[in-house]
Amino acid sequence: MDVRNEQGVDRATQAFLADAAQKDFSKAVDYFRHSGLLVLDDWKASAHAMRQVAAANLSLARLLEGHVNARQLIKVHAGTSLRERCLAEMDEGLLFGVWGADSDTPVSASGDTLSGAKRFASGLGQVDRAIVSAKTEDGQQLYVIDASDHRRQDGRAWNMSGMRESCSGSFDCEGLHGIRLGKPDIYCVEPHFLGGTWRIAAVTLGGVVGLLERASAELRRRKQDEAEAHLLRLSPIAGQAVSAWAAILRAGEVATGDEGAAQPEAAAVRSLAVRLLSEDIGQATISAVERSIGLSMFDEESQIGCMARDLACYMRQAARDAFSIKVGRALLMGERPLGDWLNG
């Protein structure tokens, strides 16, 4: 199925991805390579795809979000030759990622030769190319690297209870050649840094939807679908999820368009706001589903429990409190009245 002219993936494909991710994660990733997902240029189509893949499997969605991020960085910051090369590789089915978190030995560069290591690198053995940040004499520099050397990958470094299928771990950059992407210190420039957190919100909301759908299916199987206690717990969250999607789409529209270019900091605030909102909904979803499903959810074989652990792990992004303060200052203490944010 080619999805490049559609809004994401259909229900049958979601079911295929969910099943394949459990049985053979590489097979699920291979779907990305021939489906058209890796060459989506439209931000809205990417948003739908990330949300829908996340409803099937959050580890898969993590890799797709990283690729969408990498494609955006390349289109915005790469010179003509590198951009054409990378986009051609994506056309061929190569999967890209963005690895920013440093290990105890941060990645640095002398010329185009890297040293140090990255941690929390998702997609080891699946990602073909990665964009990594490195310290240089001129500032923080992005590099495109070949991520396929299995000798540099260490999945043992990922001991988390969630996102076990994400093929995460550490990646050794010692002596690795990198191709410079853009100028120094462009990685954190808005609206493409924090302004891009609308993508995390889209994936998180997809995880929320996937968890709620699995929980409701289990309640129907138990013939508890009319139990008012379950409806009172779960229906407000379902309504929040439906309402949040429009806000996430609006944040993506701003961050990727002319409005974001004109007011990059405002775009970043809007994206952070929906990222925080999606996390709040996610936390409430896990709590409510645990109460409704009960002890069986904590069985290691429970797919509902696995989805909840993945969602909890995925939502633990860095610097949440700092982001909350940044959003609060902008919306409540800035020169722009709160009501004006609602107008556009």
CA torsion angle for 12, 13, 19, 25 (degrees, to 10)? Answer: 170
pLDDT at position 9 over 90: no
Using CA atoms, how far apart are residues 222 and 296, in angstroms rounded to an integer?
12
The tens digit of pLDDT for each residue in 253-264 reads 999 999 999 999
Buried b / exposed e over 153-176, threshold 16 CB at 10 Å, is: bbeebbeeebbbbbbbbbbbbeeb
Percent of the chain with pLDDT over 90: 94
The tens digit of pLDDT for each residue in 38-81 reads 999 999 999 999 999 999 999 999 999 999 999 999 999 999 99
The tens digit of pLDDT for each residue in 189-230 reads 999 999 999 999 999 999 999 999 999 999 999 999 889 999
Using CA atoms, how far apart are residues 234 and 311, in angstroms rounded to an integer?
17
Read off the pLDDT band of 5 (50, 70, 90): very low
Yes or no: say if 24 and 30 are a contact pair by the CB < 8 Å rule. Answer: no
Write down the mean pLDDT value for the chain. Answer: 95
Report helix angle 25-35 to 11-23, nearest 10.
140
pLDDT on residue 317 = 80
pLDDT at position 7 over 90: no
pLDDT at position 3 over 60: no
Yes or no: say if 294 and 225 are a contact pair by the CB < 8 Å rule. Answer: no
Q: What are phi and psi of 91, to 5 degrees?
A: -60, -30
Q: Give the residue-averaged pLDDT of 16-43.
A: 94
The tens digit of pLDDT for each residue in 107-118 reads 999 999 999 999
What order of strands is seen across the sheet that includes strand 153-154?
117-121, 169-172, 153-154
Q: For residue 157, give the 3-state DSSP assignment.
A: helix
Using CA atoms, how far apart are residues 149 and 108, in angstroms rounded to an integer?
19
pLDDT on residue 192 = 95
The tens digit of pLDDT for each residue in 152-162 reads 999 998 999 99
Percent of the chain with pLDDT over 70: 98
